[in-house]
Amino acid sequence: MRLSQSSATTNDAAFELVSYPMHIDGRPHTTGTWFDSENPWTGQAWARIARGDEADVDLAATAAHRAFTTGPWAGMTPTERGKVLVSAADALAAQAGRLAEIEVRDNGKLLAEMRGQMDYIPEWFRYYGGLADKVEGSVLPLDKKGYFAFTRKQPVGVVGIITPWNSPLLLLAWKLAPALAAGCTVVIKPSEFTSASTVEFVRILEEAGVPAGVVNVVTGFGHDVGARLVDHPLVRKIGFTGSDATGRLIGAQAAAGLKRCTLELGGKSPNIVFADADLDAAVNGVVSGIFAATGQTCIAGSRLLVEESIHDDFVDRLVRLARRARIGDPMSPGTQVGPVTTRQQLAKILGHIDQAVAAGATTALGGQVPNTPPSGGWFVEPTIFTDVIPEMDIAQEEVFGPVLAVIPFRDESEAVRLANSTRFGLGAGIWTSNIERAFRMSEAVDSGMVWVNAYRTVSFMAPFGGMKDSGVGRENGSEAISDYLETKTVWINTGAPNRDPFVLG
Work out the end-to-end distance of the chain between its first and last CA atoms, rounded to an integer number of angstroms: 55
- DSSP-derived pairing of the beta strands 424-425 and 467-468: antiparallel
Q: Is 261 a catalytic residue?
A: no
Q: Is 101 a catalytic residue?
A: no
Nearest of 415, 416, 353 to residue 385 by alpha carbon: 353
CB-based contact 296:341 (threshold 8 Å): yes
SS3 call for 216? strand
Backbone phi and psi for residue 338, each to the nearest 5 degrees, phi listed first: -100, -170
Catalytic: which of 113, 206, 264, 381?
A: 264
CB-based contact 478:434 (threshold 8 Å): no
Helical axes 78-94 vs 168-182, angle rounded to 10°: 160
CB-based contact 239:179 (threshold 8 Å): yes
Nearest of 110, 86, 459, 404 to residue 271 by alpha carbon: 404
- Measured over the CA atoms of residue 277, residue 280, residue 283 and residue 289, the dihedral's sign is negative
Catalytic: which of 184, 192, 298, 398?
A: 298
CB-based contact 409:418 (threshold 8 Å): yes
CA–CA distance, 98 with 100 (Å, rounded to integer): 5
Sheet with 260-264: strands ordered across: 27-29, 22-24, 215-217, 185-189, 158-162, 235-241, 260-264, 471-472
Report, as residue numbers or ranges, the catalytic residues: 264, 298
